[in-house]
């Protein structure tokens, strides 16, 4: 089965094979060697210096996002959240659950973020210390342009907490220029590992100003970081996911790093776009503002998502539906993972078969 959903991704043989390594205890030196290698490997993906570290948490991408938000906004701090899709709205929900002073700045799903509105909201609100943004809003495939937002963060001394769950490893991130203090991501999207392990790449000084006392016991990032720094772990981690992530990071480096992966994603996304355009299927989010990772398309006239999905699944492909109000309107195709040109050509042929039936 070829997975064209936005994670978990189609695994390479190399990463799959890594799952068959020896049983391992998380309180033994060989585990801590692997943990340290992975933590360094994640920081190295974007060539970050020792002001940065990565902290591993076992769970899905949302686990890392919740750990980042609940830990890093101080007790008397405030969070401005930019929403233009499901994942921005989820951060607002997370902040509310934790009783954080939160100010959402709402845009329609897929709408371009207007930095002037963000800055006005920031100035009008009291006590904002952090701004949360989604880099690639997977709801629509829009890659949010964070240049202007980053300038606002730096100008007002507000730290950016970035949801890079579906962009880390596959898109350019301007760590300094956007005022990023932490970025949450997962092993099983652009990094090509397996689900169950997620991480936050953050400035060490952001951990020093974290919420005290912690809002959460299980997701407190400073606790994880302190334990991992001293070759430890607070709880039982998803050890087999570590094997996969270790191998996935080696594979990413061997294949030329995030830049090469981005280039490859662009080729695949364009191959899908051109193939579908040939069948009369148009992009929902225009290619120029879409990520390389995932694209959204209008469902063709008179064709339901179920018909498309089920037909493609018979041909060996899993595509992805739109969320909530977009369910009846769009479908999504992600070309992360071990996908070949031939896979895309077979996909387009399968679309052609379904549409002509
Ligand atoms: C996938 C994703 C998440 C997290 O989803 P999980 O199901 O918890 O892994 C968060 N943000 C974005 C932008 C995503 O694409």
Distance 23 CA to ligand 1 centre (A): 29
> Best mutation site among 5, 8, 58, 62 for ligand 1, i.e. most ligand atoms within 8 A of its Cβ?
62
CA-wise closest residue to 198 among 140, 238, 257, 248: 238
Q: Is 87 in the pocket of ligand 1 (CB under 6 A)?
A: yes
Overall pTM > 0.85? yes
Per-residue pLDDT of the chain (357 residues; tens, 9 = 90+): 999 999 999 999 999 999 999 999 999 999 999 999 999 999 999 999 999 999 999 999 999 999 999 999 999 999 999 999 999 999 999 999 999 999 999 999 999 999 999 999 999 999 999 999 999 999 999 999 999 999 999 999 999 999 999 999 999 999 999 999 999 999 999 999 999 999 999 999 999 999 999 999 999 999 999 999 999 999 999 999 999 999 999 999 999 999 999 999 999 999 999 999 999 999 999 999 999 999 999 999 999 999 999 999 999 999 999 999 999 999 999 999 999 999 999 999 999 999 998
Q: Is 88 in the pocket of ligand 1 (CB under 6 A)?
A: no
Residues 6+ apart with CB under 8 A from 235: 58, 218
Q: Which helix (DSSP H) or strand (DSSP E) does residue 88 occupy?
A: helix 86-97
Distance 229 CA to ligand 1 centre (A): 26
Q: Are 190 and 269 in contact (CB under 8 A)?
A: no
CA 313-268-166 angle, 5° bins? 80
Atom of ligand 1 nearest to the CA of 87: 11
The string of DSSP codes covering 210-230 is S-SS-S-STT-HHHHHHHHHT
Atom of ligand 1 nearest to the CA of 186: 9
CA-wise closest residue to 6 among 322, 262, 326: 322
Distance 355 CA to ligand 1 centre (A): 31
Distance 344 CA to ligand 1 centre (A): 24
Q: Is 134 in the pocket of ligand 1 (CB under 6 A)?
A: yes
Q: Is 237 in the pocket of ligand 1 (CB under 6 A)?
A: no
112/232 Cα distance (integer angstroms): 43
Q: Is 187 in the pocket of ligand 1 (CB under 6 A)?
A: no
18/41 Cα distance (integer angstroms): 17
Distance 137 CA to ligand 1 centre (A): 9
Q: What are phi and psi of 216, to 5 degrees?
A: -140, 140
Q: Is 30 helix (H, G, I), strand (E, B) or coil?
A: helix
357/252 Cα distance (integer angstroms): 40
Q: Are 261 and 255 in contact (CB under 8 A)?
A: yes
Q: Is 291 in the pocket of ligand 1 (CB under 6 A)?
A: no
Q: Is 138 in the pocket of ligand 1 (CB under 6 A)?
A: yes
Q: Is 7 in the pocket of ligand 1 (CB under 6 A)?
A: yes
Instruction: Give every strand in the sheet of 294-298, ordered side by side.
Output: 294-298, 330-334, 320-321
323/327 Cα distance (integer angstroms): 5
Q: Is 5 in the pocket of ligand 1 (CB under 6 A)?
A: no
Task: State the pairing for strand pair 294-298/330-334.
Answer: antiparallel
> Best mutation site among 57, 58, 60, 139 for ligand 1, i.e. most ligand atoms within 8 A of its Cβ?
60
pLDDT in tens, 192-241: 999 999 999 999 999 999 999 999 999 999 999 999 999 999 999 999 99
């Amino acid at each position: 089965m070829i997975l064209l959903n936005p994670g978990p991704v189609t695994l390479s043989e190399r990463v799959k094979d890594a799952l068959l390594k020896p049983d391992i205890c998380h309180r033994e030196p060989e585990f801590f060697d692997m943990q340290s290698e992975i933590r360094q490997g994640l920081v190295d993906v974007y060539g970050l210096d020792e002001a940065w570290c990565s902290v591993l948490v076992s769970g899905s991408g949302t686990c890392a996002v919740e750990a980042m938000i609940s830990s890093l906004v101080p007790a008397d701090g405030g969070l401005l959240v930019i929403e233009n899709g499901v994942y921005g709205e989820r951060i607002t929900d997370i902040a509310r659950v934790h009783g954080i002073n939160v100010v959402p700045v709402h845009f329609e799903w897929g709408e371009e973020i207007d930095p002037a509105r963000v800055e006005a909201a920031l100035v009008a609100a009291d006590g904002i210390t952090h701004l949360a943004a989604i880099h690639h809003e997977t709801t629509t495939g829009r890659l949010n342009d964070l240049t202007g937002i980053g300038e606002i963060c730096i100008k007002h001394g507000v730290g950016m907490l970035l949801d890079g769950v579906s962009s880390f490893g596959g898109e350019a991130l301007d760590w300094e220029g956007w005022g990023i203090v932490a970025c949450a991501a997962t092993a099983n999207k652009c990094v090509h590992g397996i689900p169950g392990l997620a991480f936050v790449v953050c400035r060490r000084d952001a951990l020093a100003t974290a919420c005290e006392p912690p809002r959460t016991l299980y997701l407190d990032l400073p606790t994880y970081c302190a334990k991992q720094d001293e070759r430890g772990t607070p709880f039982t981690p998803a050890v087999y996911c570590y094997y996969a992530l270790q191998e996935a990071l080696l594979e990413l480096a061997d294949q030329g790093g995030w830049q090469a992966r981005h280039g490859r994603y662009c080729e695949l996304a364009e191959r899908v776009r051109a193939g579908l355009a040939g069948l009369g299927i148009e992009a929902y989010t225009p290619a120029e503002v879409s990520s390389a990772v995932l694209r959204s398309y209008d469902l063709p006239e008179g064709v339901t998502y179920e018909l498309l999905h089920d037909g493609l699944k018979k041909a060996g492909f899993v595509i992805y539906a739109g969320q909530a109000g977009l369910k009846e309107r769009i479908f999504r195709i992600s070309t992360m993972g071990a996908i070949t040109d031939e896979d895309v050509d077979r996909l387009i042929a399968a679309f052609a078969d379904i549409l002509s039936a």
